[in-house]
């Protein structure tokens, strides 16, 4: 399954992460930026009279992640932002 997900860029949206782990879109973007979750592609949708694109994240990584692992990732992100430059 992992090879198929990588080869075809099968992914889940930010909304899926938000619903599954009860986190915000901002949390998902921070995890993406710090490369804790892997972006595999994007999908196109129509809104406001134009086409927009949203990222898709590795479905295999999502499916194998536990609630506990997500909490640890978020805590590490939180520690980094608190200790950064002000």
pLDDT digits (tens, 9 = 90+) for 27-80: 999 999 999 999 998 999 999 999 999 999 999 899 999 999 999 999 888 777
Type and span of the H or E element at 50: strand 50-58
Among 74, 7, 4, 68, CA closest to 37: 74
Phi/psi class of residue 27: alpha, beta or left (left: φ > 0; alpha: ψ in -120 to 50)? alpha
Distance of CA 21 to the CA centre of its chain: 11
pLDDT at 66: 96
**Spatial contact of 81 and 26, defined as CB atoms under 8 Å apart:** no
pLDDT at 81: 65
The answer, yes or no, to whether residue 9 has pLDDT greater than 90, is no
- Considering the entire predicted model, what is its pTM? 0.80
Residue 84 pLDDT grade (very low, low, confident, very high; cuts 50, 70, 90):
low
């Amino acid at each position: 399954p992992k090879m198929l997900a990588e080869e075809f860029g099968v992914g889940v949206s930010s909304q899926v992460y938000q619903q599954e782990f009860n986190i915000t879109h901002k949390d998902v973007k921070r995890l993406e930026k710090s490369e804790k979750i892997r972006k595999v592609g994007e999908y196109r949708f129509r809104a406001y009279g134009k086409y927009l694109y949203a990222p898709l994240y590795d479905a295999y990584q999502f499916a194998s992640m536990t609630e506990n692992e997500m909490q640890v990732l978020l805590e590490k992100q939180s520690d980094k932002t608190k200790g950064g430059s002000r």
